[in-house]
């Protein structure tokens, strides 16, 4: 039968105190150290022989001493039995060599032979605190990385195992926001040369960074399992966590698809404007040379025709340049409309006359219903829109056909419809005609930059209106409808 009375009490307690992993320090009523176990010796870097009899304050940083003294006084010594002073909030202690370190301690009061003592059990939490700090820094870093719009990979040497991939990287690879995706280099993704050829292993950005190299702005393709590759810019750097070989590397991957598209657009656009400017310039140059060189030998009719060509082509150049200037305003967000009440009928007639007079091949009919109120518009911008629509009608409808403009009340606004009898637009292309540099299904010999309708839409929207295209189908004509609000404050009673 076990009996507690059989235990070798003093010997057992001494052995426990001596072998405890926590420092155990006992103090007498005067706060002098009366017990200092081996763990305390190791923690405070002070032998028991040196510590015994010393005031506890010696092992407290100066700024805590006063608070500690008050704390002990408040914990009035009574003749009572053992009671706990509870856990002390995390605080600091001082090693014998002056090194301060974070501790956690519990203190209790004991009374032995009528004399009060304090017993403190102290734990050095340097390692734990550092680990916690590192963990919370890691969590914060992970949050920051997950919020980054670029893909981030942390790779481990030697075989580029993915230790961490942020949400953007997972999305780049999988096409969906999947934060907790574990990715494998070579299985889920890899980098290819910009031309689609495999990247030699020594050129791979991850491998280069793990070899200690820094890689900036490497233009490659990101190959993804089961999905089309995308152009990316890769940046990579070794992560040095101490002396010696690189164990980790970071790779940042930026999707540059839009950038590539924009570059392509710019290249196409440059080719297009060079071509668009060259054609009228060639005509002007040729006409002018003929007129200058052989003026005497040309009959009056030929001279007049050449001159008319030169004038028409220089006007064309002027309009091209005007469109480009408007484009720069639109792109820079500088387009401002200053609106006022505008009567559509007279304005449309003036623009139709101007466009029609350039080549009297088309009949312009402006059918503005009488009694309609004016629209709230910027007359210059509206004029430019109508000019674009009429020029298109001339370009895309055959000679001899009619271009009709009608205006009708449409809810709160007025709809201006320009209808031609030309090549029309296929249903699948109707939505695309307002895109920048977009030319759909038309005759490639018809000159154009795919800019007029894009600009027209910007100009209409700047005036608070809308523009839409419709067509019964190829070969059956097209209608462009501009809707603008009725002039501010205009009521039906006031209509002219
Ligand atoms: P551009 O005429 O210089 O090509 P636009 O932006 O004015 O550029 O027009 C874009 C495209 O829309 C044209 O290339 C043409 O395919 C189509 N389109 C424009 N107007 C008409 C029209 N009246 N009839 C048929 N197609 C048209």
pLDDT tens for residues 135-155? 998 888 888 988 999 999 999
Quick one: pLDDT at residue 88?
58
* Substitution candidate for ligand 1 out of 392, 393, 405 with most atoms within 8 A of CB: 392
Angstrom CA distances, 145 to 247, 263, 451, stand at 20, 29, 41
Quick one: pLDDT at residue 83?
47
- Please name the residue that has the structure tokens 């440059």: 270
More confident residue, 386 or 65: 386
Angstrom CA distances, 15 to 19, 38, 122, 123, stand at 6, 11, 18, 19
Asked whether the predicted pLDDT for residue 494 surpasses 60, the reply is no
Q: Is 279 helix (H, G, I), strand (E, B) or coil?
A: helix
pLDDT tens for residues 221-278? 999 988 999 999 999 999 987 666 678 999 999 999 999 988 888 888 888 788 888 8
* Substitution candidate for ligand 1 out of 276, 396, 418 with most atoms within 8 A of CB: 396
Check pocket membership of 396 for ligand 1, CB cut-off 6 A: yes
What single-letter DSSP state applies at residue 7? S
For residue 298, the CA-to-ligand 1 centroid distance in Å is 38
In the predicted model, what is the mean pLDDT of residues 51-60? Answer: 92
For residue 439, give the ligand 1 atom closest to its CA: 14
Distance CA 412, CA 376 (A): 11
With beta carbons less than 8 A apart as the criterion, state whether 347 and 482 touch.
Answer: no
What single-letter DSSP state applies at residue 486? B
Distance CA 99, CA 103 (A): 13
pLDDT tens for residues 104-132? 888 888 888 888 898 889 999 999 999 99
* Average pLDDT score over the chain: 87
pTM, two decimals, is 0.57
Quick one: pLDDT at residue 316?
86
For residue 448, give the ligand 1 atom closest to its CA: 3
Distance CA 192, CA 24 (A): 63
Quick one: pLDDT at residue 488?
82
Among 110, 68, 104, residue whose Cα is nearest residue 87: 104
With beta carbons less than 8 A apart as the criterion, state whether 146 and 166 touch.
Answer: yes
* Substitution candidate for ligand 1 out of 404, 420, 442 with most atoms within 8 A of CB: 442
pLDDT tens for residues 424-438? 999 999 989 999 877
For residue 372, the CA-to-ligand 1 centroid distance in Å is 29
Distance CA 436, CA 269 (A): 10
């Amino acid at each position: 039968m076990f009996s507690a009375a059989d235990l070798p009490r003093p010997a057992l307690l001494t052995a426990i105190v001596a072998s405890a992993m926590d420092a155990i320090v006992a103090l007498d009523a005067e706060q002098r150290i009366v017990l200092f176990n081996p763990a305390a010796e190791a923690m405070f870097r002070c032998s028991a022989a040196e510590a015994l009899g010393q005031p506890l304050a010696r092992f407290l940083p100066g700024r805590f001493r006063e608070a500690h003294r008050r704390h002990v006084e408040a914990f009035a010594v009574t003749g009572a039995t053992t009671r706990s002073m509870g856990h002390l909030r995390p605080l600091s202690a001082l090693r014998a060599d002056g090194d301060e370190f974070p501790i956690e301690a519990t203190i209790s009061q004991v009374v032995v032979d009528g004399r009060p003592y304090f017993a403190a059990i102290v734990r050095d939490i340097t390692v734990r605190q550092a680990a916690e700090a590192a963990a919370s820094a890691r969590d914060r870093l992970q949050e920051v990385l997950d919020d980054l719009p670029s893909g981030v990979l942390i790779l481990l040497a030697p075989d580029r195992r993915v230790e961490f991939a942020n949400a953007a990287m997972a999305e780049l690879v999988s096409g969906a926001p999947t934060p907790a995706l574990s990715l494998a280099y070579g299985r889920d993704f890899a980098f290819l040369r910009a031309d689609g050829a495999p990247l030699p292993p020594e050129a791979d950005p991850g491998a280069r960074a793990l070899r200690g190299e820094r890689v900036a702005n490497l233009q490659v393709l990101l190959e993804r399992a089961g999905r089309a590759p995308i152009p990316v810019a890769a940046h990579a750097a070794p992560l040095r966590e101490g002396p010696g070989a690189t164990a980790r590397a970071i790779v940042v991957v930026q999707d540059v698809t839009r950038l590539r598209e924009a570059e392509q657009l710019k290249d196409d656009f440059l080719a297009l404007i060079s071509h668009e400017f060259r054609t009228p310039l060639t005509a002007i140059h040729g006409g002018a040379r003929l007129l200058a060189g052989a003026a005497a030998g040309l009959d009056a009719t030929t001279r007049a025709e050449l001159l008319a060509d030169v004038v028409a082509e220089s006007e064309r150049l002027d309009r091209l340049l005007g469109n480009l200037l408007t484009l720069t305003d639109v792109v820079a967000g500088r387009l401002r409309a200053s609106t006022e009440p505008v009567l559509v009928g007279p304005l449309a007639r003036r623009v139709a006359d101007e466009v029609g007079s350039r080549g009297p091949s088309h009949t312009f009919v402006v059918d503005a219903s009488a009694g309609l109120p004016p629209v709230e518009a910027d007359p210059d911008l509206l004029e430019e829109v109508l000019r674009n629509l009429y020029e298109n009608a001339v370009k895309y409808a055959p000679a001899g056909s009619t271009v009709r403009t009608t205006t009708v009340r449409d809810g709160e606004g007025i709809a201006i419809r320009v209808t031609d009898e030309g090549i029309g637009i296929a249903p699948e292309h109707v939505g695309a005609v307002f895109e920048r540099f977009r030319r759909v299904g038309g005759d490639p010999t018809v000159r154009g930059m795919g800019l007029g309708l894009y600009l027209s839409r910007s100009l209409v929207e700047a005036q608070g209106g809308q523009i839409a295209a419709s067509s019964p189908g190829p070969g059956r004509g097209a209608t462009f409808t501009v809707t603008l609000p009725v002039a501010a404050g205009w009521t039906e009673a006031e209509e002219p």
